[in-house]
Amino acid sequence: MADPAAKQVEVPLLPVRMLNEYAYCPRLFHLEWVQSEWAENAETLDGSRVHQRVDKRSRRGLPEGSDEPPAVVRSVDLADEALGLIARIDLVEASPDGEAVPVDYKRGVAPDLPEGAYEPELVQLCAQAILLRAHGYRCDHGFLYFAGSRRRVKIAITEELVARTLALRDEARSAARLASAPPPLVDSPKCPGCSLVGICLPDEQNLLTARSNEKVRRIIPPSDDALPLHLTAQGAVLGKDGHELVVRPRDGEAQRVRLMDVSTVHVHGHAEITTPALRALMAEGIGVSYYSQGSWYYGRSQGHDHKNVLVRIAQFQAAMDDVRALELARRVVRAKIRNSRVFLRRNLRTADPACLEELDKAMVGCERAESLASLLGVEGNAARIYFGAFPGVLTSELGSGFSFEGRNRRPPQDPVNALLSFAYALLTSAWTHTLAGMGLDPYLGFYHQPRYGRPALALDMMEEYRSIIADSVVVGVINRGHLGQDDFQRTKTGVALNPGGKRRFVAAFERRMDEQITHPIFGYKMTYRRIFDVQARLLARHLVGEIDEFPELRPR
């Protein structure tokens, strides 16, 4: 598949730290520098701790003449246009006679190798030495300080090492011009310790591209530590105190939650958020969603967009390509119908074979649809069949008070439709934040066409999960008696959840999102919330040409 960004693009000065990453793993380099992806783990946090002292810039700079005294300078910034390199050197020991020695700090222990270190560390130190030479200093050696061993290792800057460093520089700069990253390492021991393994998805992508037939290792976390925060109490105010968010209701005690434990914030109705809190959330890349009191999803606040513009270029190119857009739209509708069929088969007390057969025919109709208009007709017919059978899933005595005579909305006219609409709003919001976080534009879809203010791609992606997440939560809270008729408020125009009912429904929805299922392709367990992340990344990989097909999620 052709690279959607094959044209030459200007490459800025290459950070020497990124040269280290390229030598370690070309894909890691591309994800981190070109696509601006980043994630912390225990090793990166420990590395930050090791660098705390040398990251504090010295007041004086390097000596510029023989009359100046020797200097030990921390956090030295150097760049050279001819070399195409830029670096922040941890520490430089400089003498008045023009010699400068770089010292690079490492968190681990010194390896028992003849070269003194692995290649990534060697080329990083060598690149620093080359920059010092470009600025007029003599530099024939440097030191790697390994904090785990508490000792320095002297590294000679040989001609062979310089040649290798410059060759890797050229390779890295060439790789930076491409939209798609180099392929993942195959069954590499480097992957489990990499902080970007959940972003890279090495084994998963190798399986999808047939580069490896090995069993997918479970090396990405099955769930996220950070969770959504919902403000459902009317009149509540979300503020900030230090590194904590503080929820102050009209009545009762304030509640506190650490900023690091929050993935998204959802403001319902007449709840409020202060400017300092909003600014802190934006700084941390935490999105805020807003809903009306009747649960209509208004939109979101977000900090800076994801920096990976190349994936958005690929997305726009695919959306403007009628053939490719129709292919992706067929996938969206086919997956929705298949999962709707699975939901009915599992939840109807007595499944109607004719209904299931009609949904099977609708899936075949997706493949035959030659335009978005005909595909829309196929989906509409499948939705009619599905919601025609939907009353049969509300079968318990606790759920008997809830009637469903068909889908209605804007606003919903009965409690069941009110729950469905709210669940779809929560699902749309979740996908909007997920897609934006991956560098995709939530407002440009392939099946749902652009319309002012409508997150079309989020609506595309949620179709696959309407029945298995949103509808499942609605049926669960009704059939288990978690919600009753008293949890709804009725007006002349429609029906909506009251604050207490909304709070219980949101809790049920988030529990469903945190349920772990075995991924049908990769074979290990993860939450639906994590599946959203994985699927969004795989969509981006498909758009830029790294994988040929965007896989569907087919529950077993």
Class of domain 309-519: mainly alpha
**Residue 291's pLDDT is what?**
85
**Residue 269's pLDDT is what?**
84
Which is more confidently placed, 155 or 250? 155
What is 14-167's CATH topology?
A: Lambda Exonuclease; Chain A (3.90.320)
- What is the rounded average pLDDT for all residues in the chain? 88
Asked if 218 contacts 524 with a C-beta cutoff of 8 angstroms, the reply is yes
Using DSSP, state whether 466 is helix, strand or coil. Answer: helix
pLDDT per position as a tens digit, 77-118: 999 999 999 999 999 999 888 899 999 999 889 999 999 999
Please check the confidence at residue 340 and state whether its pLDDT lies above 80. Answer: yes
**Residue 25's pLDDT is what?**
95
Confidence of residue 246 (pLDDT cuts 50, 70, 90): very high
Q: Note the helical H segments in 306-352.
A: 309-320, 322-347
Say what the pTM is: 0.85
Please check the confidence at residue 163 and state whether its pLDDT lies above 60. Answer: yes
Please check the confidence at residue 453 and state whether its pLDDT lies above 70. Answer: no
**Residue 168's pLDDT is what?**
97
Lowest mean pLDDT among 40-49, 254-263, 276-285: 40-49
Please check the confidence at residue 68 and state whether its pLDDT lies above 80. Answer: no
**Residue 1's pLDDT is what?**
46
152-161: average pLDDT = 96
Which is more confidently placed, 32 or 304? 32
Minimal CA–CA distance to 36: which of 438, 307, 312, 313?
307
Buried b (16+ CB within 10 A) or exposed e, 8-34: eeeeeebbbbbbbbbbbbbbbbbbbbb
Please check the confidence at residue 385 and state whether its pLDDT lies above 80. Answer: yes
Please check the confidence at residue 6 and state whether its pLDDT lies above 50. Answer: no
Q: How far apart are CA 134 and CA 277, in angstroms?
A: 46
Minimal CA–CA distance to 318: which of 457, 190, 210, 120?
457
Q: How far apart are CA 458 and CA 441, in angstroms?
A: 9
444-452: average pLDDT = 84
Confidence of residue 9 (pLDDT cuts 50, 70, 90): low
Please check the confidence at residue 5 and state whether its pLDDT lies above 60. Answer: no
Lowest mean pLDDT among 76-85, 249-258, 542-551: 249-258
Domain-by-domain residue ranges, the chain? 14-167, 227-296, 309-519
Which is more confidently placed, 203 or 42? 203
Q: What is the CA radius of gyration of the chain?
A: 28
414-418: average pLDDT = 90
201-214: average pLDDT = 88
* CATH architecture, domain 227-296: Ribosomal Protein L15; Chain: K; domain 2 (3.100)
pLDDT per position as a tens digit, 485-494: 888 888 888 8
pLDDT per position as a tens digit, 301-334: 877 767 778 889 999 999 999 999 999 999 999 9
Q: DSSP string covering 134-194, please?
A: HTT-B-SEEEEEETTTTEEEEEE--HHHHHHHHHHHHHHHHHTT-SSPPPPPSS-TTGGG-
- Amino acid identity, residue 136? G
Confidence of residue 397 (pLDDT cuts 50, 70, 90): low
The token pair at 217 is 């290792």
